[in-house]
Structure 1
């Protein structure tokens, strides 16, 4: 990654809009030199009136630079900044994200299909945690795929270097309803296992078609998350293996001390077998 003062348009041809967020827009772009396709995430700094948002703006490219080299994390290649905008040249992921894929199918994925998504997602989370970084906003919208179908974890605007925090503990309520961990909502200090909880919610949704904790309003959803009463309704989980439910219990455990780490999740039999533990058991 290089921080260039040369104009963005000298190096890249900016094409169509492919995404839009609260503060910026993502465009498809092409390198003038190589013709290779990338994405340009352009953030309007004039919209960042909150000092916290400005801090996140500066933090995200630094974190992406540290995380460079992992196949399941969006890579940053160039950074441009002028008075009004910050532009990041990143991997192009213009196929449907996980949110779109779940919505299109109304939920339910088979266990092997779920594991195909879940394992690289946990690989990316584990890699972040080993480098002392927590994503803090794991949700299907931030799970992207490139044109080869490779999963890419994206949007590190809420990420934090917990390795630089006292005792590795973070603070601040960040995240998204349905996916945010109860200890984050409670206002307590918390650790990187908040990401494991969020990934567990994603797995539950892929297997059941509905979130494990929800309400009619965001406030009711938060109350449900804080209760953390994990259930497996028979009508939704009749075809789901005991191994998958065991993994969900270990990830969606309200007691953070008992909740598994990302590395432990990757060693769970359901993950190791690619979601085929039931099939293997049936053959023995």
Structure 2
């Protein structure tokens, strides 16, 4: 029957929660801050307008809820919790954990200095969230800064959010849908020959790279050239920004940004990596990091809204053309 087979005559979400200010908005959904009437706890409520949903949108939402419910049973410290859902006549509601600390890159760019140790703390938490997802056959497929949130402004705890593009692997089956954010997408997604959870590890490699220098490993204003660089793993560690980065950190990045998915590091191997397991509290500030990330972050946010739909369309086109995958879009700038 799915999520849309039965609904309440009244609006149960509004019966149980007081909805507040808007936190974010999309094409057919809005996220609002909310307070539970019963226990006065605060939550984020995603409100989906049902009349705006096509059949495939309903199927995707059904899948997203099933995945989040499965993860919610674990109450994992690095994955956003789905508390409950409500199916009302006009809207579908998802009541989720409220994370008030902001996106990872936004927090980092505000620091006076940034070190490898701080990057290590962030990368380890994301790898732990992916380990849990992958152990359950769940592929996130859209790992990017916007989906990595700090729980509180005063906390370093990170949560993996937004499972709208996530999918569940079945035995002996690879995923084929071309989706994700182009600046973070793995080569095999562009090849169109099928992929599994390794795509998330590539995206983690891109994020780890940025957390070391403040700019992405793959960049080109020309969309064709950008995807060609990704497909061939064409990146470097330019001076002076990488001169103070440890060899262990560079080795981890290389293990993640490995074009062959079978040779790429897994979440388990990342968590056992020498760089992840060591601690260097007195690590020096990373050279030029703040300035680089400030520029990249500003450009990323400016382009996000403009290029979102174009990126999706071009990725779909890349999937259908198979052999012509050098024609696509970018969110890497």
TM-score of the superposition, structure 2-length normalised? Answer: 0.77
Q: Take 2:26 and 2:244, find their aligned partners in 1: how far apart are those partners?
A: 37
How far has the Cα of 1:105 moved from its partner? 6.1
User: How many residue pairs were aligned?
Assistant: 274
1:265 aligns with 2:281: no
Equivalent residue, structure 1, for 2:299: none
1:61 aligns with 2:61: no
- Could you tell which deviates more after superposition, 73-82 or 18-27? 18-27
Deviations 1:193-251 (A, max 9, x none): 10000011001001011100111144443232122113111222011000000001100
Equivalent residue, structure 2, for 1:89: 95
Matches within 5 A, 1:13-32: 13-32=18-37
Structure 1 residue runs of 4+, over 3 Å off? 2-6, 102-106, 217-220, 274-279
Q: Take 1:221 and 1:142, find their aligned partners in 2: how far apart are those partners?
A: 22
Match of 1:185 among 179, 182, 190: 190
How far has the Cα of 1:23 moved from its partner? 2.9
SS of 1:237 mapped into structure 2: coil
SS of 2:119 mapped into structure 1: helix
Match of 2:123 among 118, 121, 131: 118
Indicate conservation of the 8 Å contact 2:229/2:235, yes or no: no
Q: Take 2:42 and 2:149, find their aligned partners in 1: how far apart are those partners?
A: 16
Match of 2:76 among 70, 73, 76: 70
Deviations 1:53-107 (A, max 9, x none): 332111111101111211110101110112432110110012221242355569x
TM-score of the superposition, structure 1-length normalised? Answer: 0.89
Unaligned runs of 5+ in 1: 280-284
Q: What is the aligned-residue RMSD (CA, Å)?
A: 2.3
Q: Take 2:280 and 2:191, find their aligned partners in 1: how far apart are those partners?
A: 33
Match of 1:249 among 244, 249, 254: 254
Indicate conservation of the 8 Å contact 2:31/2:45, yes or no: yes
Matches within 5 A, 1:159-198: 159-162=166-169, 164=170, 166-198=171-203
Structure 1's 66 and 158: CA in aligned 2 closer, same or farther, altered over 3 A?
Answer: same
Equivalent residue, structure 2, for 1:52: 56
Q: Take 2:280 and 2:192, find their aligned partners in 1: how far apart are those partners?
A: 35
- Structure scoring higher RCO (CA < 8 A, sep ≥ 6) equals 2
Indicate conservation of the 8 Å contact 1:230/1:252, yes or no: no
Indicate conservation of the 8 Å contact 2:7/2:89, yes or no: no
Match of 1:135 among 123, 132, 140: 140
Q: Take 2:190 and 2:282, find their aligned partners in 1: how far apart are those partners?
A: 34
Indicate conservation of the 8 Å contact 1:23/1:47, yes or no: yes
Q: Take 2:51 and 2:109, find their aligned partners in 1: how far apart are those partners?
A: 33
Q: Take 2:247 and 2:282, find their aligned partners in 1: how far apart are those partners?
A: 9
Indicate conservation of the 8 Å contact 2:117/2:283, yes or no: no
1:238 aligns with 2:246: no
How far has the Cα of 1:178 moved from its partner? 1.0
Indicate conservation of the 8 Å contact 2:140/2:167, yes or no: yes
